[in-house]
Structure 1
Amino acid sequence: MINDRPTKLIVNLDAVLNNYKKFVKLAGDKKVIAVVKANSYSLGADKISELLYDNGARYFAVATLEEAIELRKKIKDGLILVLGVTNPLNVNYAIENNVSLCCPSEDWLTQAISVVKNNSKLKVHVKLETGMNRIGIFDKEELRHVDNLLKSEKIIFEGVFSHFAQADGENNIYDNQQIDKFNDLLSTFTKKPTYIHLDNSAGTIKYHNCHADYQLVRVGISLYGEYPSSNIEKLYGIKLDTIASLVSKVTHVKRIKKGSKVGYGSTYEAKEDEYIATIPIGYADGLFRRAQGYKIIVGDELCEIVGRVCMDQLMVRCSENIKVGDDVLFFGEYNNKKLSIDDFADYQNTISYEILCAIHTRVPRVYLSNDKEI
């Protein structure tokens, strides 16, 4: 298959491994769950999971049962946890693939037990609601019923977990409320599971010296070189290696007259005679129209995206020095140049997670190891 367009997302596998090792060291006695949901935030779960597994990782988390079953084809042993809610009618697929499921409620567990085949056992991690108000159990009476159901011969009570809502924030007030709620709910269980986990990427960085009675931490966005927030980057000093770089090349350059309009809706008008360069990436690739006005690196220049971003192309204002074939960097590191994905996200009033996950599959992923494409 040819890749005619020069647009690509470069993924540095050495940097992924470096970040994983940093969190393994930071976590101390706790084991690191590598969160590889959404195709490793669109960076390629197959490649990344295989790399981590080959380097000792045995704990993984995904969002859906489908992702878990696909991952099990690569990861032959070790824990794979589905963080989201699985249809309880499908729990036998989890058992067949040695996948652990999230138990979000008493009703879910009751139905799951009724579906599990005889002489089979379903591994579950009970989700506790401590302040995110997304999924999980917060009522102690319901939790007591769940505790009783966990004694079923069809269930392996493998874990209990919750999720921080504000660990990337400027203070720890809400974190502490969640921790207190989590520990209070934990006391309801008559038997403790193998694994207790609460910390996400931000929580792992902030509280790596705490929670000695927990066994796991879950690292997602920071595994991929991005900080959960600028607060975490500034306050806690951990240095992450950049993983992802979105690059392209100039495909067309033209000189336009003062007053000429650019793009759909003619939202940009040249204030003087100007040069416009066209780059083959657009909102169908996951680079959205809200990026209009942002400045990217074209050749050796910082150039503003002008006019509306099109479905497959966009335009920038540049100097007469820009030529067809010049390199373009949207974010990441490329040819000794660097642009922050967080700045790119902030400009669009979003977060790096969304920027990465939005990059469409028609943008080829190019993997680097030892500075060479593999």
Structure 2
Amino acid sequence: MRNPTSLAINRSADIVEGAPVTATVDLAAIRHNARILQERAGEAELMAVIKADAYGHGARPVARAAHEAGVRHYGVARLPEGIHLREDGHTGRILVLGAPSPEQLPRYADHDLDLTVSSADVAAAVLRRASPTAPLRVHVKVDTGMGRLGLPPDDVPAILARLSDAPGVRLAGLWTHFATADASGSAFAQTQLDRFRAVVEAVDVDVEHVHAANTGALLTVGEPAYDFGASLVRSGIALYGLAATPELSARLDLRPAMRLTARVTQLKTVPAGTPISYGARWQAPRRTRIATLGAGYGDGYPRRGSGRASVRIGGASCPVVGTICMDMCMIDLGPPDQAPATRVERGDEAVLFGPAGPTAHEVAQWSDTIPYEIFCGVSPRVPRRYTDRADDASVQARPVQPAASDA
């Protein structure tokens, strides 16, 4: 009979030291992208959109890298995200893009945050609460066709006039958001721009910044989307090295900043016909070397990629086989006596996505989604490791902070 202690020792050998999955973020790429975007924006100032924990990259390190590249304007989605940046020592302008709750308005003043006036109700709340001792900086949003947040264009001049006359209110911005600017030559994007220009021309009060361009508009509409006086260009996805499509990404010298890798936690050789994973939907077509990776949909690797995705390991592209599980997925390395199977050992890393491929665009395509969701979906339990190719330095790997909530 086998010694139980020996059995336990043998099993412990299957455990890989270190994290089974890691997201590595290159801060030099963030700085590079910020500079490239600022160059394209010309006289307009770049606003780095770092909502949703900087699209999963880590808001605090990304904000610091953007600041080092000269960025002085930041966009977040929710009030706690802006507060966290202030508490981290950021002194630039921070605009909360989402609609505020009236009871939260004093906190905007307390933390020197710009807020979005997205409706007549919010404008009325600002007028009630603002005072010279607790001033509020506001960006009035115009709904030119997105249908999400914003005032009807015809209502904007009167509301701006009332805000301009109120003590303690500072008109920091007038803005809109495109719905279809990711599509080159979009007629609707031009319609939205025309509507916004009509509002700007109808306003007879001073506004600090006028801004319409997002990443898509920067790359497709071009200068007409940001040639307003003292304009801003709000860029999110491009800051992280991609645009909405590979074609748009190719229009700028962008560098993808995130690389998601998973370690091989087990290797086995299975005979032809062996089923793999939940549902037994995939069966080995031949004697096959199977690698189990320590990453699954609980880490943000999409389950919809089951049977469609591939990873890079052992110098080759290898398919994901069977159903992607919550904490693991399985890879077909091919015949056990041939490469890449002969080159892969337990503990080796497989690239789930990264600059050298597969790309986040490819993972998104396999999963019927967009790269934004792939980045944002990388779970808080996945450690982020920050590197800097500029000096080949590395920040110690550490867990990412949970995304801010509205609590």
Bin the TM-score by the shorter chain: over 0.9
Correspondence for 1:330: 352
Q: Aligned with 2:48: secondary structure? A: strand
Shift of 1:241: 1.0
Q: Aligned with 1:193: secondary structure? A: coil
Correspondence for 1:366: 385
- Pairs within 5 Å for 1:191-202: 191-202=205-216
Residue number among 138, 144, 147 corresponding to 2:152 in the alignment:
138
Q: How far apart, in 1, do the equivalents of 2:17 and 2:89 lie?
A: 30
Moved more, 55-64 or 115-124: 115-124
**Residues 139, 172 of structure 2: 8 Å contact kept:** yes
Correspondence for 1:310: 325
Q: State the identity as a percent.
A: 29
Q: TM-score, normalised to structure 1's length?
A: 0.93
Shift of 1:323: 2.2
**Residues 36, 49 of structure 1: 8 Å contact kept:** yes
**1:196-250 deviations in Å (ceiling 9; x for gaps):** 000001112234433422411111100000112234235xx21201211001221
Q: Aligned with 2:124: secondary structure? A: helix
Shift of 1:109: 1.1
What 5-or-longer segments of structure 2 have no aligned partner?
1-15, 337-341, 396-407
Q: How far apart, in 2, do the equivalents of 1:365 and 1:353 lie?
A: 17
**Residues 25, 258 of structure 2: 8 Å contact kept:** yes
Query: Does 2:265 align with 1:251?
Result: yes
**1:182 and 1:75, CA in 2 relative to 1: closer, same or farther beyond 3 A?**
farther
**1:146 and 1:30, CA in 2 relative to 1: closer, same or farther beyond 3 A?**
closer
Q: How far apart, in 2, do the equivalents of 1:31 and 1:307 lie?
A: 48
**Residues 184, 221 of structure 2: 8 Å contact kept:** no
Moved more, 340-349 or 203-212: 203-212
Q: How far apart, in 2, do the equivalents of 1:65 and 1:195 lie?
A: 21
Question: How many residue pairs end up in the alignment?
Answer: 368
Q: TM-score, normalised to structure 2's length?
A: 0.86
Q: How far apart, in 2, do the equivalents of 1:106 and 1:352 lie?
A: 34
**Residues 296, 329 of structure 1: 8 Å contact kept:** yes
- Pairs within 5 Å for 1:217-232: 217-232=233-248
Residue number among 173, 178, 181 corresponding to 2:192 in the alignment:
178
Q: Aligned with 1:49: secondary structure? A: helix
Q: How far apart, in 1, do the equivalents of 2:214 and 2:305 lie?
A: 29
Q: How far apart, in 2, do the equivalents of 1:301 and 1:213 lie?
A: 49
- Pairs within 5 Å for 1:137-216: 137-141=151-155, 143-210=157-224, 211-214=226-229, 215-216=231-232
Name the aligned partner's letter for residue 43 of structure 1.
H
Q: Aligned with 1:198: secondary structure? A: strand
Correspondence for 1:339: 358
Q: How far apart, in 1, do the equivalents of 2:29 and 2:237 lie?
A: 13
**1:72-125 deviations in Å (ceiling 9; x for gaps):** 123442210000011111111100111000000111110232233563211000
Correspondence for 1:301: 316
Q: How far apart, in 2, do the equivalents of 1:231 and 1:301 lie?
A: 25
User: CA RMSD of the aligned region, Å?
Assistant: 1.8
- Pairs within 5 Å for 1:351-362: 351-362=370-381
Residue number among 52, 59, 67 corresponding to 2:66 in the alignment:
52
**1:118 and 1:27, CA in 2 relative to 1: closer, same or farther beyond 3 A?**
closer
Q: How far apart, in 2, do the equivalents of 1:149 and 1:224 lie?
A: 36
**1:147-172 deviations in Å (ceiling 9; x for gaps):** 32442113111100111111111323
**Residues 140, 173 of structure 2: 8 Å contact kept:** yes
Q: Aligned with 1:26: secondary structure? A: helix
Q: How far apart, in 1, do the equivalents of 2:92 and 2:385 lie?
A: 28
Q: How far apart, in 1, do the equivalents of 2:303 and 2:67 lie?
A: 38
Shift of 1:304: 1.0
- Pairs within 5 Å for 1:73-84: 73-84=87-98
- Pairs within 5 Å for 1:279-294: 279-293=293-307, 294=309
Q: How far apart, in 2, do the equivalents of 1:360 and 1:3 lie?
A: 20
Name the aligned partner's letter for residue 58 of structure 1.
R
What 5-or-longer segments of structure 1 have no aligned partner?
none
Correspondence for 1:261: 275
Structure 1 or 2, whichever has the larger Rg, is 2
**1:14-62 deviations in Å (ceiling 9; x for gaps):** 0110110111111111110011111110101111111222343211110
Residue number among 35, 43, 50 corresponding to 1:21 in the alignment:
35
Name the aligned partner's letter for residue 291 of structure 1.
G
